[in-house]
Amino acid sequence: MSGVSFCVLLFLVGFTIVALLWWIRFPKAASIVMRGQHVIITGGSSGIGLALAQLVAAEGAAVISLIARDPEKLAAAQASVNAYSADVKDFASVKKAFEAACSESGNVTAVVLSHGVAVPGTFEDTSIETMEHMLDTNLKGNIHAIKAVLPFIKSSKSAPASIAIFSSQAGQVGVYGLAAYSASKFALRGLAEVLQQELISRNIRLSLVYPPDTDTPGFAEEEKTKPELTKKISGSSKSMDAMEVARNALCGIKAGQFSVHCNFEGLMISTVGAGMSPQPSWPHAVLEVMTMGLFRIVAFFVVKGWYTTILLSQREKAKK
């Protein structure tokens, strides 16, 4: 076979793969419109949630409703939005807040669930009460919020609608010292995948956002109790600014993406762990097929580095 023939064959094979991925991906790409709509954000009194509220306002949303636990922080944010106090761990409280928001401002087109809590510590050193606090906030809190808002988002006349759930890169990769937190965040993928199947006929899109360490008040609190080994492992990647994370997250949500990453590391992790998750974007589908093997090789080196760090640290500790 001549060089020209080989190049033509290679082009045809590549074109066939791209065309197949364009046709076979599901659900298809969608565009979520924020302008003129009612958007609800949980955990919106500070950090990523508050940054998202500012960006959504700039998009021209008609009404932004913030739901958060801290009344004082909500009062500070209430100048430009509607604010409702609720604890996501309490379903009755969440249901009341969503009902009030939708009663006052109409049915909702986009819901962004950015609330969450992390209390770092090894599994052995973390109390059952602390674990339950994280599971109740990060997992059950999302279940409560979605259960409460679903009747209102299903009644929305704007299509497609969106439910965005904030997981974490620690919800894609287990990290030393974050056992309960990772467990609560990993579970969100299963929840989101099932909900996307159940709600696709209503043209409601699920987005699962995977932010890295982000400079927020919550992250500052985490650093106070984070084990040194956790800092060494997670310190290999720099934390991001809350507005930058919010901007990347909103871009993915508006595009109707299922898995939304916020930096290159997030892209690599999402690609390696794509599995059976839906992929609406054909460029991302092509990227996954073409780079999954390469990124898996990189992941081997990263994981080896983590375990080496852990074992060396424990040996040094044993010598003391």
- Supply the residues annotated as catalytic: 167, 181, 185
Q: Which amino acid is at 108?
A: V
Cα–Cα distance measured from residue 30 to residue 179, given in angstroms and rounded to the nearest whole number: 35
Contact 77, 44 (CB under 8 A): yes
**Which DSSP string corresponds to 150-191?**
HHHHHT-SSSSEEEEEE--GGGTS--TTBHHHHHHHHHHHHH
Show the DSSP H helices in 78-164 as ranges: 91-105, 128-135, 141-154
Cis preceding-peptide flag for 160 (omega within 30 of 0): yes
| DSSP state, residue 121 | B
Cα–Cα distance measured from residue 71 to residue 53, given in angstroms and rounded to the nearest whole number: 17
Going by C-alpha positions, the residue among 180, 59, 160 that lies closest to residue 120 is 180
Q: Is 6 helix (H, G, I), strand (E, B) or coil?
A: helix
Q: Which amino acid is at 227?
A: P
CB count in 10 Å sphere of residue 308: 10
